[in-house]
Structures are given as C-alpha cells and as structure tokens.
Structure 1
Amino acid sequence: MKKAKKRIWISAIIVAVLALTACGSKTESTDLEETNTSQEEKVVTMAYDQTWNSLNPYSSTGVVGDTVCNQMFDNLVAVGAQGVLYPRLAESWEMSDDYMTITFHLNPDAKWQDGEPVTADDVVFTCKMITKAEITTSRRQFFQNIAGTDESGVETSTDSVEVEKIDDLTVSMNLKKAMSDTMFLKQASYFFVLPEHMLNDLEPSEFMEADFWNNPVGNGPFMFESTVPGERVVYTTNPDYYLGDIDFDKLVIRCISSTNILASLMSGEVDLVPGGRVSFPLEDIPMAEEQDYLTVESLESPGQVWIIVDNEKFDKTTRQAFDMAINREEMVEELLDGKGKIREGMYASNNKYYDPAISEVSFSNKYDPEQAKKILEENNFDFSQELLILYVTGDSLREQTATLFQRDMEEIGVKVNAQSVDLSTMMQMMRDKEADFAIMKTSSDGANPLENQDFFTIGGVYNLAHVTDPTGQELYSKIATALTEEEEKKYTSELQLWQADASCYYFLYAPDITVIYNNRLSNMNTSDMSSSVFDYWNWKVK
C-alpha cells in the first residue's frame, strides 16, 4: 500500500510539472519570454507563497512586501540571523556616551539609480516625511524611538523630529530615552532611505500614492523593470551598486502557491526558495532531495506559526480555555512530521531571550480539552455562536493549521468556520473585528526582543488582537531602554511569562526552515535569507 501511494504521489508531481511547462497559459508564456529575452541573459527567480501590496516600502503590510521593496531600497543597516548587524547605506555608526544620540556615516560610493549620490539630506528627508501625521503607514517602528515623535512614530509638532545633517555623509539622530545602539538598530530593517531630490516637491497627503511608486528609483542592488501585481516583480541588476558587482542580469520574485513550488523548482522556473518566509510543504521535501540539481538545507527556526485572538471579545479566562484546548503536539507531528518544535511562548527555545521558566506557565504544556470545556461552561460561554478563523490564501501550512484548530475547538463544543483571504484583507478584517482568530506566520532573527512589539501597542495598527492590557507595551518600553544585557533579560523574562499567562496570542509551533536552490547558484549565505538579507554580490550564478 505504501508503494502504491508513493507512485500516485510521484505521478501527481510529474503531472504538475508537465502542466506548468507545457500547458501554461498564453499570458504565462509571454511573461516568461519577457524575463528571458536572450539565452545569454542570466536570470534568477525566487519564489514566495505570499503576495505583496505595493512597491512603496512604507505601504508594505507584510515581510514579503518588505522583501520586494528591499531589492530596490537599502536600509542604513541590515539585520541578519541572530541579530547580526551588516553595514548597508551606513558604513559605520557610533552612539554618544550618554546613549542619547546615534551618528551614522554614509557609504560615499552609494548612489541612487539615476546617478545622484545618497546623502544625509535623503536620510533627514525620509525621517521628516514618514513621521508626518497625514501619512498612514505600518512601518514607523524605526521612528518611534527618535526624539520629537509620539509613541506611534508621528512627529509631535511641525519639524519636531530630531534628525540633523552634519555634512553630506554624516547624519545624527537624538533619541527619546537612553538606548544602546544595538537595541536602537533592532528595528533598522523597517527604515528605507528615499530620494529627497525626486520626492521633496510632494505634499504628505499625496506622497503614498505618488506616480513615483509605479516606477520607483532606488539605491539597492536591483532596479525596477516591470510587475504583474500580485504575481511577480522583475528587476534588472544595478550596475553601479556600491557593495560590489552582481553575477547575474535579472532577479524575478514570484508569488506561487506553496503546493506548486516543487513543480516550479523541478521545471526550472524557480531557482530559489529562501527559507522561513515560505511554507514549503514538508511532504514535498523528499522529492526535492532526490533531485541531483537541487540543494535542500534545513535549519532550526526561531520563527513561529501563531494565532491572533480577539482580546476584547474573549476575556482572559475564555482565551486561556481555548489555549488549553489546542493540541500543539499533534500539529507538529501531523503537519510537520516532527520537523519542528512546539512553541511555549513568544520566544523560541533557541532565541537568545528564551526563559526556561516559561514551561511552567505556558498552556502549550497544559493540553486538556476536558478541563478547557469545563472552564468555558463555568464562564458561561455561549456555545451556540459560530466563530471565524482566517488564513492566508495559497499557504497550505496555515490552511492545515486552521483545520486542526477547528478540530480542537469542535472537541470542546466550539464551532469555528475557516476562511482564506489575502494577507492585507486578513489584517484589516481583524482590525475591524470581522473575524475572531487569524493564523500568522512570522520569522525571527533569534536575537531581537522587540520583534513582536507592535502587536501589543495600544491603538497600534498591528494590535490585531485588540490587546487593552498595557503590561506588554510597558515591558517592551523597558526592554528598549535597557542598557545592559542583564536588564534586557530581566524584562524579557517578565514579558514572556506575562504573555503566556494572559494568552493574548497563541504561539503554536516553529517549523524547521527549508532553503532550496538550484545548483546553478552557489556561494550564498543562506542563514540570513529568512530575515530577507541577501549577499547578492557574493553569489555565483551559472
């Protein structure tokens, strides 16, 4: 029976490959011709299973959107795995003795893709523009700690943001509170420097929807060429990139349903699946490993799959009962085939800030559906209502997680319906309280204690669970201003223990990271890819 099942499974993959290579639509064929204009042109295609909503980095609503924009716009500093900081537009920086001012020194070779130099004026302009109240963005994390902004990163008055040009290549930022440079730069991946000379005539009210974003000019490793919204973005290599020459001509980022990624790898349409931000089906890994032209790497993940739960609709007792009814062990075995770990809380066991004491508090270790149902009954829960959980369309792992969550809730008498939507819609529906739960999947560098901060900010755009208890926000503030590692660990311990007891969110499991690439690619740092950090100038491409 097992052999028969394997033959059927392999046959299905072959059919999918043939469908992709021989039966593609006319539009698909045309698109491929556009991205392979000559046999000599070297094109690298990268696949994600989530889409993006904009080419404007400050309109992005998810990490894949950040990645799409990051090909065109560099950060001052890139944050890789385990919190390693890499110079980008800033070649160096230093913090003042009182920890209240950080000064950046820009790379003199950095240029905009129209040939103009990147200067301190661009940094100052970006800080002052993005902090304007007229601009709606979910990417103000970097600005929240700069003096002259409120808790959400908006300027407190006209030109109040304390960012100063020292000279063409030097810029300083004053902070609200004393912070180490390492802690301040934890959010550096959300700061994209924009071209002042191309955007300074725009009013804040028209900035986010300006024509510029239809054909953006950046400072990163690639130049925008074309896009099919929601499907692909095509980039041309920047010949003047300041960090070094890139050994291929074009980069294509495609959105492909996770169930179709293996077939795309086998047909040669995709060269790279870059790790933790893609839900590559575990059942497809053995087939990928059998292909001698593919390399498969598995890494332990500090990221997580987790559930947002409406904290205003469900009180703490009800949330705890739901949490107690989730069979995480079954999820790891059934969905991951054991290739992952149960999450006890907001920090993975391989995270720098993980506190083992959480095992005594976490409901991950208290699975008891009978007790969960009893608690709901005693709390007068209305079992007649039907609840709704959302998951992202095309993400098979989230879909399967939703199915198991439904089954766990059904066991305690709670009816939950599931609906697939795109990521932006999912987030907006949670904000508007049109759903009760949503399945999230986020990556982590394993060393950033602030990585979930926005989900606990009262009134913040990412507080999708409608958390009203200020404890989390207050502890994050203490972590951000801690000047010693001892202080950081004290407050992060308090934070994870509080969250585990409050059940504001349900942290489920961490699937192992799978990076898969065609052997025509080599000399890549794959460990940073899940943080959307790529060393393209080191890559070798056949």
Structure 2
Amino acid sequence: MAKCGFRRLAAWILAAAVALAGCGGGSGDAQGTPPTGDQAQNQAPAQPAGPKQVTIGIWSSPNTFNPISYDTTYTYLIIRMLYPTLLEMNDKLEFEGRLAERWTVSDDKTQFTFYLNKNARWSDGTPITAHDVAATVSMIARPETKTTRRSLIDTIAGLDENGTAPEGKVSGIRVVDDHTIEFTTKGPVDPDAFLEKLGVNVFIVPKALLDQVQNPAEIDREPWSMEPRVTGGPFKFVRYVTDQYVELEKNPDYWLGEPKLDKIFVRIVPRATMAAALEKGEIDITGGAGIGEVPVEDWEKVSAMPHLTPATYVAPSYQYMDVNAAQPHLSDPRVRRAFAHAINRQLIVDRLLKGQGEVLNTPLNSANKYYRPELQKELEYNPEKAKQLLQEAGWDFNREIVLLTPTGNTVREQSADIIQANLQAVGVKVQVQKVDFPTRQAMAQRGEWEISLVGFSATFDPDFSSQVSAKGAYNYRRLPGPENDNKKHYNPRLDELLLQGKNTADFEERMRIYTEAQKVFIEDLPLIPLYAPKALVVVNKRVTGVKPGPQGLTWNTHEWDVTQ
C-alpha cells in the first residue's frame, strides 16, 4: 500500500468515515428484488432472514455499462463494482492493491511496474492477465475508438498528446509475463497522478472481448455494453430493468475474498422522493456526490432518522454551465465572462444548497491541493460589468439562446431558473429546455446546443484537459454536422500548459504550471464553474463496512455486510 499525497481532502473523508463507523444495513426480500412500498416500510428498521442485499439510490438511469465509452457518474458507480482496476484509493487516501497486489515506481519516475494477483479470474473462470491490461489500454489508445478514457493514459510513451497511437500499438507498454506489466512514460511524471489515473480509473476489460470488436468507433454498441456477462469485480451483472433498477449478484470467486453481500440493487429514485424512500427502507444508501444524495431541504429531517447515519464529504466534483464557444455568437471570451459576472452563484449556494457548497472560478475545488484561493476573487457577481462586456462584444440583445438542462438533479434544475433570471436581467434572452440526461449527452456530442448545465466528477490530479482541450473527451464545443467532429473550440495556450503539467513530476513546478493554467482558463472561460456541493449521503445502520472514499462509497463493496 502506498501513501497518496492528497492531503487537503483527508480531513473531510476521515470525518465522514468516523461518522459512518459501525453502521449496519438491510437486505431485501428473499426472491431477489429491491424492496418497495409497504414491503420496504415493514423492513425498516429490521428485515426478515434471506439473501443479504443492499439497495443504493441514484437519481438517473445509466446509459451504458461499457467501461471504455461511459460518460456519466451514474454508470461509473456501477462499473466499479463489475470491472477490476489495478489499484483503488481507500478512505485514508492511500492506494490499495486490487488486480495488482504490488507495484513499483522507478527512481526517475518514468517506469511503473504492476505485479498482478495470480488468483484473479474473470467471472467465466479464465485468468485475468497482463495481456488483458495491455489490450484495454491499447483499445483506449486506438484513434478510432469511442472512449472517454484517453486523458488517463496520455503520459505513456508512444502516445501522442491526445493519447492515441496507430492501431493502439503503444511502445510504452511491456507485458513482462502473464502477471507482470510495465508502463514507461514520456518523461518524469507525478507518481500519485499516474497511479490515480491509470491505476484507479482505468477499468480492465477481457482481451477476449476486445479482440472481437470489429469497429472500435462503435464499441459502445457491443453486446457487453448493456449486458456485461464476463466481468471481474466483486459483483456480477444480473439484469437492468430500464429506468427502474440494476441488479448485481456477488462474484463468489472474487480473488480478494467472497463478498459478504449476496446482491446489490442500484435503484433509480427521483430526487423528490429520495427522503421518503430512505424513511421507508426502500433504499439503504444514497449513491453519492451529484448522482444520488439527500435533498438539502430534507437533510435535517433525514439525518435525524434513527435508522440512518448521515455523512458529508467534499468530492472532486462540481457543477458548471458549459458554453458552446464554437457557435459564432458565443465565441468571444467577453460574452462568456459577461455570463459569469451576471450569474449570482453565491445565491445558488445559499438558497438551493443552504450553504452546503462553495462557489468556484476554475474546475479545481478546495479538495484539490492545486486549488488557488486568490483566484476565487475573479468573476464576482457584477451585473453592470456583465452589461458592459456584452456591449463591448457586440451582443445581439434580440437573440434568444437555449439553456439545455438535464433532469434528475433538482438543485441543478432549480439553478436554471436563477440563471435564466440573472441573464435576462442583463439583457440576454434565455429559454430553458429540460431533457433527460442521456438526451442531453447525445445533443452535446452532436454539437446541437448553446449553453448547458452539467456536472463533472474528476480525479484529484489537477489535469482538466478532458473538458477543455482540442481532443478532450468531454469537450463538446463544436458545430453540428459530422464535418465538425474534430473542430472543437479550444485555447492553444491552455492546452500547452495542461500538457506540460501532465509531463512534470516536481510538485512546485506543477503548482506553477497549474496556477498559470487556471489563470488562462479564467481569461478564456470555455465553461463557467458554478458551485461544488458537499455530498449529503446517508447509510442505513444495518449496513456495515461502508466507508466514504474520495470517489464515493462503493470502492470496497466486497467488504460490506448487513445485520439480519
């Protein structure tokens, strides 16, 4: 186990872990379905004997179970229970072995060697080997692959700055033997950053499945994207009842030990009914930051329920208003800065979050060690300055723009009304269009949008290139039409700084680079950070072993148990 250098967040995570220490949790019915209605009411706080199972509540439906192409945290929560990673980051912000039982870093910080657990098996009984790891990274690196994972691997030697190599042939990957794999980077890198990105956040897929992919550009259409039958995590996929729940069962052959729970259900619960579902025992655990929390207006009531234990923590996530700067009328940075000055972001935090959050000016919140407090003085709420910038930019005050707002996160939906009123107060006509989250993602990817509300869950490394760079997986700032697929808005200077940061190992030098990158970001403002909410989560006291980690609660589900 290697100590990780993310200290700013430690106090928050440890405090939440202490709050949840000793919690216990409930199981559903013996037939293997999530408890609902009167049945669930009768199961709180005690449940009959039967299969040990837990139900997690999230706000919106997953749109895939593909660990290479997924693009939402709703999916991430489920995938991390199904597919293995080399490492995991625990509640103490330390790296723990998962598929890798140990690892080494060379003195010059350019070579990372992982030694895999020889007992690791896929759910079909075949061994998990270094060849599976290499095949996964190679598939991500193929230029034609539809993936959101390239920013996690792009420091590996043999990849270009976009994280790609022809046919996925990466010179910086060497399979030493079936259970040893070595990665060489382009130059010295921060070990914590590399281990968090590649080790913790790249999910390994069976090479046998990847070898069958005929068209990597359509990898999200592979049968295992929606029905993953060969997996290697602590739980196995059973079924997905669309817009209702995902059912998982334990993997009895999990190499770190047979999970104590028999089943986990991930149930889609509207935010408005989350508190009632917790009270009735229909769900045991809220999904976590930005995807399934106790509504802030219900927090006092829910946290006082005797069968629940509350906890709050700061995650590396935030909400923002994306701006399609590829659209001519949104291409002037003065327009985007005017929008930022027009929006009363502190009002959103105070009124909608009841103070349980912070206003941001960059993609890095106070949980990140590269967060710069002095930069938070920029982009203050100033309607008069907003009007001035719009005048200077020649804004057409007769134009109406559409604010695309995904449903599911009620605070985000309510913030759309505040943002609409704020922008209209400075002369910008705004229409709010609400769509479900998968529709929002599809429209964004096609470039069919102007401004949009969305959230982002990141790693603790300060690299935010995936959201802003020319090839960023979450940079959807483009015009509609296939001819514009590779014509995204980006800032060359910002791209240059973020690339330097990725390939720098010295902390002080990285701090200088990322401070400058944040300054350039504020000047260009390709997206407008709004707020970073504290996660408001609860766990039924019958569930044991739940510990908040930096990426939420589900990092150690093989250790969860329930008291009957």
TM bracket (short chain): 0.7 to 0.9
Which residue of structure 1 lines up, in the alignment, with residue 287 of structure 2?
274
Contact 1:279 1:395 in 2 (8 A): no
Which residue of structure 2 lines up, in the alignment, with residue 177 of structure 1?
187
Which residue of structure 1 lines up, in the alignment, with residue 546 of structure 2?
524
Give 1:178 shift: 2.7
Contact 2:110 2:184 in 1 (8 A): yes
Give 1:449 shift: 0.8
Change (3 A) 1:178 1:300: closer
Give 1:60 shift: 0.8
Q: Secondary structure at the match of 1:410?
A: helix
Contact 2:151 2:472 in 1 (8 A): no
Which residue of structure 1 lines up, in the alignment, with residue 19 of structure 2?
none
Which residue of structure 1 lines up, in the alignment, with residue 501 of structure 2?
479
Change (3 A) 1:160 1:83: same
Contact 2:61 2:243 in 1 (8 A): yes
Aligned equivalents of 1:80, 1:152: Cα separation in 2: 29
Q: Secondary structure at the match of 1:128?
A: helix
- The reply to whether residue 142 of structure 1 matches residue 164 of structure 2 is no
Give 1:491 shift: 1.0
Question: Of residues 427, 437, 443 in structure 2, which corresponds to 1:429?
Answer: 443
- The reply to whether residue 216 of structure 1 matches residue 229 of structure 2 is yes
Amino acid of the structure 2 residue aligned with 1:187: K
Question: Of residues 478, 499, 507 in structure 1, which corresponds to 2:529?
Answer: 507
Q: How does 1:193-212 map to 2 (within 5 A)?
A: 193-205=204-216, 208-212=220-224
Which residue of structure 2 lines up, in the alignment, with residue 316 of structure 1?
333
Give 1:101 shift: 2.5
Question: Of residues 351, 356, 367 in structure 2, which corresponds to 1:334?
Answer: 351
Which residue of structure 2 lines up, in the alignment, with residue 16 of structure 1?
none
Give 1:163 shift: 1.8
Question: Of residues 250, 256, 270 in structure 2, which corresponds to 1:257?
Answer: 270
Give 1:162 shift: 3.4
Amino acid of the structure 2 residue aligned with 1:165: V
- The reply to whether residue 299 of structure 1 matches residue 313 of structure 2 is yes
Which residue of structure 2 lines up, in the alignment, with residue 537 of structure 1?
558
Aligned equivalents of 1:79, 1:129: Cα separation in 2: 24
Q: How does 1:350-429 map to 2 (within 5 A)?
A: 350-360=367-377, 362-363=378-379, 366-429=380-443
Q: Secondary structure at the match of 1:145?
A: coil
Change (3 A) 1:327 1:210: closer
Contact 1:430 1:436 in 2 (8 A): no
Q: How many residues align?
A: 508
Aligned equivalents of 1:369, 1:42: Cα separation in 2: 55
Which residue of structure 2 lines up, in the alignment, with residue 151 of structure 1?
161
Give 1:161 shift: 4.6
Which residue of structure 1 lines up, in the alignment, with residue 129 of structure 2?
119
Which residue of structure 2 lines up, in the alignment, with residue 8 of structure 1?
none
Aligned equivalents of 1:302, 1:227: Cα separation in 2: 28
CA RMSD across the alignment: 2.7
Aligned equivalents of 1:142, 1:529: Cα separation in 2: 16
Contact 1:53 1:230 in 2 (8 A): no
Contact 1:295 1:518 in 2 (8 A): yes
After superposing the two structures, state which structure 1 stretch, 516-525 or 138-147, moved more.
Answer: 138-147
TM-score by length of 1: 0.87
Aligned equivalents of 1:51, 1:492: Cα separation in 2: 35
Which residue of structure 2 lines up, in the alignment, with residue 13 of structure 1?
none
Give 1:197 shift: 3.9
TM-score by length of 2: 0.84
Change (3 A) 1:198 1:498: closer
Aligned equivalents of 2:524, 2:505: Cα separation in 1: 27
Aligned equivalents of 1:272, 1:222: Cα separation in 2: 17
Which residue of structure 2 lines up, in the alignment, with residue 109 of structure 1?
119
Which residue of structure 2 lines up, in the alignment, with residue 238 of structure 1?
251
Which residue of structure 1 lines up, in the alignment, with residue 74 of structure 2?
64
Q: Secondary structure at the match of 2:221?
A: coil
Q: With CA pairs under 8 Å and 6+ residues apart, which has the higher RCO, 1 or 2? A: 2
Change (3 A) 1:142 1:444: closer
- The reply to whether residue 74 of structure 1 matches residue 50 of structure 2 is no
Change (3 A) 1:91 1:249: same
Contact 2:370 2:462 in 1 (8 A): yes
CA displacement 1:495-528 (0-9 Å, x = unmatched): 1122123222211112221111111112321244
Contact 1:47 1:274 in 2 (8 A): yes
Aligned equivalents of 2:91, 2:416: Cα separation in 1: 29
Amino acid of the structure 1 residue aligned with 2:559: N
CA displacement 1:43-69 (0-9 Å, x = unmatched): 101111132111211121112212221
Which residue of structure 2 lines up, in the alignment, with residue 463 of structure 1?
475
Question: Of residues 95, 120, 135 in structure 2, which corresponds to 1:85?
Answer: 95
Aligned equivalents of 1:476, 1:83: Cα separation in 2: 24
Change (3 A) 1:473 1:424: farther
Which residue of structure 1 lines up, in the alignment, with residue 304 of structure 2?
290
Change (3 A) 1:118 1:459: closer
Change (3 A) 1:386 1:98: same
- The reply to whether residue 191 of structure 1 matches residue 212 of structure 2 is no
Contact 2:87 2:97 in 1 (8 A): yes
Which residue of structure 2 lines up, in the alignment, with residue 3 of structure 1?
none
